[in-house]
């Protein structure tokens, strides 16, 4: 790409002009020296500007291009923006300036064939059309950027919707487990309470009778109660873990809703 702009000997002078001012320039297409037009575009990378121009040529003017020697090339094709003839159209983009205030420089060459480049001196009328095209390029680029952003937002919103549906399914599953575990804990609590009462009664009977068989029953009941208590404790821990999981899911759902709201608002604004 550096070679493409090797002959921009006077571009340094042009860099100080308005970003949308169009000037004639000289560039190289391989070994061929061509005369064309240059314009500077702010707030867009060379890739975006090139894509916007290609989009305009191909969708609005139905031109079919190729990429040769660093240029987008449309050979022997009409372009209503320039005139009624068939043209060889070449364009290239490159970054200019320091990174913090960098802009994109566009070089557009229009030829009537055999490298007969249109200039202000040999074809003022077509040149004015080319200048008009380049002066309007900033609007085409902004429109293209908006279209890209709309597509990006629509994709992001579709992904957010999928994520939301997945999170809601996870939420339902965790809530179902929570309800089941809460029921199990309640039943275990009731059983532990009943078993405690049973042990107390047997203990009272044993205190009166000192029956060895009753003592064994008490020991078995205490062991059974301990088992239930361990299960109860385990389920309480599971319940805590599920509540933490549910909290994370709900937080993600809240973030999803906020992101969806923001992106829908931006999308609505861009489509107005």
What is the average pLDDT across 207-226? 91
Work out whether the CA dihedral 213, 219, 220, 225 comes out positive or negative: positive
- pLDDT tens for each residue of 175-209: 999 999 999 999 999 999 999 999 999 999 989 88
- pLDDT tens for each residue of 237-262: 999 999 999 999 999 999 999 999 99
pLDDT of 2 strictly over 80: no
Q: What was the pLDDT predicted at 262?
A: 97
pLDDT of 14 strictly over 70: no
By mean pLDDT, which of 14-18, 124-128, 205-209 is the weakest? 14-18
Domain boundaries, the chain: 3-135, 147-271
HEC string for 121-167: CCCHHHHHHHHHHHHCHHHHHHHHHHHHHHHHHHHHHHHHHHHHHHH
CA-CA distance, 42 to 18, in Å (whole number)? 10
- pLDDT tens for each residue of 50-81: 999 999 999 999 999 999 999 999 999 999 99
Helix axes 137-209, 212-271, angle to 10 degrees: 170
Element (H, E) at 109: strand 103-111
How much of the chain exceeds pLDDT 90, in percent? Answer: 86
Per-residue CA distances from 259 to 96, 205, 267 (Å): 36, 67, 12
pLDDT of 235 strictly over 50: yes
Element (H, E) at 41: strand 32-41
What is the average pLDDT across 137-144? 96
CA-CA distance, 270 to 263, in Å (whole number)? 10
CA 204 to chain centre: 73
Report yes or no on whether pTM surpasses 0.85: no
Pairwise pLDDT comparison (120 vs 19), residue with the higher score: 120
Q: Can you list the pairs that 220-228 forms with residues at least 24 positions away whose Cβ atoms lie under 8 Å? A: 221/195, 224/195, 225/192, 225/195, 225/196, 225/199, 228/188, 228/191, 228/192, 228/195
pLDDT of 13 strictly over 50: no
pLDDT of 16 strictly over 80: no
Backbone angle region of 91, left / alpha / beta, with phi > 0 → left and psi within -120 to 50 → alpha: beta
Q: pLDDT band at residue 156, thresholds of 50, 70 and 90?
A: very high
Burial (Cβ within 10 Å: 0-12, 13-18, ≥19) of residue 88: buried
Residues linked to residue 38 through DSSP beta bridges, in sequence order = 23, 107
Q: What was the pLDDT predicted at 227?
A: 95
Q: What was the pLDDT predicted at 211?
A: 87
- The mean pLDDT value of the chain amounts to 91
Q: What was the pLDDT predicted at 105?
A: 96
How much of the chain exceeds pLDDT 70, in percent? Answer: 93
Q: Does domain 3-135 have CATH number 3.30.1910?
A: no
Per-residue CA distances from 46 to 20, 43, 51, 70, 187 (Å): 15, 10, 8, 12, 69
Per-residue CA distances from 43 to 47, 55, 100, 105, 129 (Å): 12, 18, 11, 11, 24
Q: What was the pLDDT predicted at 20?
A: 64
- pLDDT tens for each residue of 31-55: 999 999 999 999 999 999 999 999 9
């Amino acid at each position: 790409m550096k070679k493409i702009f090797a002959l921009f000997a006077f571009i340094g002078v042009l860099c100080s002009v308005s970003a949308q001012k169009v000037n004639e320039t000289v560039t190289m297409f391989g070994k061929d020296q061509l005369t064309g037009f240059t314009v500077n575009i702010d707030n867009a990378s060379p890739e975006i500007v090139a894509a916007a121009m290609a989009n305009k040529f191909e969708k609005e003017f139905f031109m079919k291009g190729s990429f040769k020697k660093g240029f987008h090339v449309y050979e022997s094709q009409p372009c209503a923006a320039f005139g009624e003839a068939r043209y060889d159209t070449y364009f290239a983009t490159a970054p200019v300036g320091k990174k913090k205030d960098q802009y994109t420089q566009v070089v557009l060459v229009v030829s009537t064939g055999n490298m007969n480049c249109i200039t202000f001196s040999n074809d003022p009328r077509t040149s004015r059309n080319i200048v008009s095209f380049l002066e309007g390029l900033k609007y085409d680029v902004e429109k293209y950027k908006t279209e890209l952003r709309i597509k990006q937002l629509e994709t992001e919103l579709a992904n957010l919707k999928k994520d939301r549906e997945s999170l809601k399914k996870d939420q339902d599953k965790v809530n179902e487990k929570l309800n089941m575990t809460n029921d199990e804990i309640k039943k275990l609590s009731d059983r532990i309470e009943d078993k405690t009462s049973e042990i107390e009664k047997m203990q009272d009977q044993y205190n009166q009778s000192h029956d060895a068989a009753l003592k064994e029953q008490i020991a078995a009941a205490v062991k059974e109660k301990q088992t239930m208590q361990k299960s109860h404790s385990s389920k309480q821990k599971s319940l805590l873990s599920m509540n933490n999981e549910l909290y994370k899911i709900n937080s993600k759902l809240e973030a999803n809703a906020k992101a969806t709201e923001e992106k829908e608002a931006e999308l609505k604004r861009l489509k107005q």
